[in-house]
Amino acid sequence: MNLFHIIYAGTDQYLKRAEEMVKKAVAVKGTEAPVRLPDTAYALPVIYAVTGEKITTVGELEKALDLARGFIHQGRLLQDALDAGTASALLAEIIEAVKYTLEEQPYKAPLQGHLTDAQIRAFGVPLVTQDIPGVAVLIGKCRDSETAGKIVREYQELGVLTFLVGKIIDQAVAEGVKTGIDLRVIPLGYEIESVIHAVSVAIRASLIFGAVAPGDFAAHKKYTKERIKAFVNVFSDWDEKIIAAGAAAIELGFPAITETYINEVPTLLLHQPDNDKVLATSLEARNIKVKVTKIDVPVGVASAFEGERIRKDDMYAEFGGTRTKAWELVQMKAPAEVEDHKIELVGPDLSEAGTVPYRLPFAMVVNVAGKNMQPDFEPVLERRLHYFMNYTEGVMHVGQRNIVWLRIGKEAYAKGLRLRHLGEVVYAKMKDEFNNVVDKCEVIIYTDAAKVAELEKELALPRYAARDERLASLVDENVDTFYSCTLCQSFAPAHVCIVTPERLGLCGAVSWLDAKATKELDPTGACQPVPKEGLEDEHKGIWSEISKAVEKASQGAVSRVSLYSILEDPMTSCGCFECICGIVPEANGVVIVNREYGAITPVGMTFGELASMTGGGVQTPGFMGHGWHFIASKKFLRAEGGIARIVWMPKELKDDVRERLDAAAKELYGIENFTDMICDETIATETEGLLAHLEAKGHPALQMDPLV
Ligand code: SF4
Ligand code: NI
Ligand code: CU1
């Protein structure tokens, strides 16, 4: 069988359909109508990355067709099948874009179709921490549903981000596989063209995190091949279009593994007829190593279950929320006081429920000991409890400290889950993730109402208070060491975060204490101490030793950093920031937008568009990615006048930061209720309305020195 001919036959089919779709779009919408995939700043991202052309109107789709024809032509001349693969990708994107142009939402749940920039950015942290060790694209129809369910579930339990295309979607759903972006199993669509939405994720990673220039296709291919550990599995029968799509994947460096024999190309196109081995073959082809800790519990434990929700009707038991007391605490103890792997329950277990849902008070006390353990690490370990319990299938955990809210599903109870198992999970994960710090660990769970209340008063509350005191004293002035974090360099090769007590990493996941603990866990790892020496400008946050550390860690890409400025040598961004801040010259201030907010802002851009102005470890004065927690800091934009420059934020973000922001504004400027002076989308999303609000409220930014 001639692979070249198969691929070209597939490409011709894409071309024919794309031509028809464009014709239809012109007839229905006219050439001037906008053509746009939702919530991306990169137009039709694959076409943009490959050719540098931003296709924005229906009329321009003709040009896009020509670009694809160019690849077909070139491939025929050069006898290069991969060019046909690239053409197929461009054509599939045209077809999908027309679907979104003709119809507001062409994909209905559980189908996902196109992913937004914000959704891709949110994958940043789990990708760098290897929580997501790889990306699988499963195409076609398995020989039976049982096999499909088993394979998809196996990927899910390893945390692999799994995209489904074709009949395998129904098969997986029929087997009870839980799907959705939060659960890392994403059904894209039934038609093969929908596979482009997975390609688009990889390509946008290259644009967003890699800061690779649009049009530099060679550099994009290098990026996807080296940094995105993706691969394709084709099940059962294939057709020409599937193989052409496979060629596109191979061109990006993603191997394709097929169940039916087509042909074999070493390391790129592999044949694996045994369904039981497809996972191992795939991981090996991409050199993906997964760490599995076997935990003796009757349900799955995997990071992919973190996003699982337990609805009221599916709930077997509930702790905390508003109905009962629930709290958790990790405390350091002397080695002699901790009995390793002791799991104890004080009070009734789930099986003693009279009625369902069973509501009980809850407390979890985790005692740890180790020679490298420090009291400063207690909150770092404690915050992980949320994740460990959430990773447990059928368990939902919200909150922390004494505002914990826990739900356990009926299905999990039926499978045999009991409270002791939560202790097992926490024990195993603590020992695994903090192996260098935790030598011994014991877990005691209380459901006895009197005990829960008594220990909260005597043990937990004083401990929280002592920690709060320590945290309040943790300001940049009071430490002599900051930390660099280079975790995101696996995706954004030149990016370095400098983490200080008041400025946490832009991902929001790495505080100064986290960085300190990470250094202890992995002395030569991603977080390294940087001495706060060589003061150049205290107000703007410039130290020569810190600039030097950034220069070294960024391999010379950035040589000077000012920690408290957005205009002068600002800190770089990788792309996974929680919030983006950008200046509005008209209002003499800045807007801040969180990733969850999808609509337009007064600078005329959405989160995604603002976010696309910076990233990939490049310094972009006027734009700054940052963590949510940094907003109310006295160091936020201090060089430009501080938090008084904030003129607009989405309502939800305002409400989240209000308490701390108001307190900071009162202390810095003597202003009461500062957050109310800040505009939001319920008041205005254009500059006139914004200015009117600022004037009516007497917002301080209007009186400040010109920002630019
Ligand atoms: Fe990435 Fe910075 Fe977060 Fe480290 S602190 S994980 S480099 S965003
Ligand atoms: Ni869960
Ligand atoms: Cu990042």
What pLDDT does residue 210 have?
92
Q: Is residue 598 part of a domain?
A: yes
509 Cβ inside 6 Å of ligand 1: yes
pTM of the model: 0.90
Q: How confident is the model at residue 205 (pLDDT cuts 50, 70, 90)?
A: very high
What pLDDT does residue 353 have?
81
Q: Is residue 26 part of a domain?
A: yes
Nearest CA to ligand 1 atom 1: 488
The whole-chain average pLDDT of the chain stands at: 95
504 Cα nearest atom in ligand 1: 5
Q: Is residue 108 part of a domain?
A: no
Q: In sequence order, what E strands does 561-692 have?
A: 579-584, 589-594, 623-626, 646-648
Same-domain status, 87 and 121:
no
Q: What's the mean pLDDT in 502-521? A: 94
What pLDDT does residue 129 have?
84
- Quick: pLDDT tens for 577-628: 999 999 999 999 999 999 999 999 999 999 999 999 998 899 999 999 999 9
State the total domains in the chain. Answer: 4
pLDDT over 80 at 291, yes or no? no
527 Cβ inside 6 Å of ligand 1: no
Q: Which of 503, 561, 576 to mutate to test the pocket of ligand 1 (most atoms within 8 A of CB)?
A: 576
Q: Which of 123, 489, 496, 507 to mutate to test the pocket of ligand 1 (most atoms within 8 A of CB)?
A: 507
CA distance 566 to 540: 10
Q: Which tokens is 220 given?
A: 């994009």
Same-domain status, 341 and 195:
no
Same-domain status, 227 and 322:
no
Range of 655's domain? 477-703
509 Cα nearest atom in ligand 1: 3
- Quick: pLDDT tens for 649-697: 999 999 999 999 999 999 999 999 999 999 999 999 999 999 999 999 9
Length of the chain counted residue by residue = 708
Same-domain status, 553 and 641:
yes
Q: Is residue 460 part of a domain?
A: no
Same-domain status, 234 and 310:
no
496 Cα nearest atom in ligand 1: 7
Same-domain status, 320 and 242:
no
- Quick: pLDDT tens for 213-248: 999 999 999 999 999 999 999 998 889 999 999 999
Q: Is residue 672 part of a domain?
A: yes
Q: Is residue 455 part of a domain?
A: no
Point out the ligand nearest to the CA of residue 406.
2
Point out the ligand nearest to the CA of residue 575.
3
- CA–centroid distance, residue 50 to ligand 2 (Å): 39
Same-domain status, 508 and 537:
yes
Q: Among 75, 102, 129, which residue terminates a domain?
A: 102
- CA–centroid distance, residue 185 to ligand 2 (Å): 15
Q: Is residue 41 part of a domain?
A: yes
Same-domain status, 148 and 92:
no
Q: Is residue 111 part of a domain?
A: no
Q: Which of 127, 129, 488, 518 to mutate to test the pocket of ligand 1 (most atoms within 8 A of CB)?
A: 488
Q: Which tokens is 293 given?
A: 């800790």
Q: What is the CATH number of the domain that holds 80?
A: 1.10.8.190
- CA–centroid distance, residue 12 to ligand 2 (Å): 45
Same-domain status, 585 and 444:
no
- CA–centroid distance, residue 506 to ligand 1 (Å): 6
CA distance 549 to 572: 14
What pLDDT does residue 583 have?
96
128 Cα nearest atom in ligand 1: 6
Q: What is the CATH number of the domain that holds 483?
A: 3.40.1470.10
**Residue 271 bridge partners (DSSP):** 258
Q: Among 51, 74, 102, which residue terminates a domain?
A: 102
Same-domain status, 362 and 412:
yes
Find, among 176, 50, 33, 14, the residue nearest to 101 by Cα.
33
**Residue 398 bridge partners (DSSP):** 405
pLDDT over 90 at 471, yes or no? no
Same-domain status, 15 and 137:
no
Q: Among 42, 77, 102, which residue terminates a domain?
A: 102
Q: What's the mean pLDDT in 414-433? A: 96
Same-domain status, 148 and 269:
yes
Q: What's the mean pLDDT in 297-307? A: 91
What pLDDT does residue 1 have?
60
Q: What's the mean pLDDT in 128-153? A: 94
Q: Which amino acid is at 676?
A: D
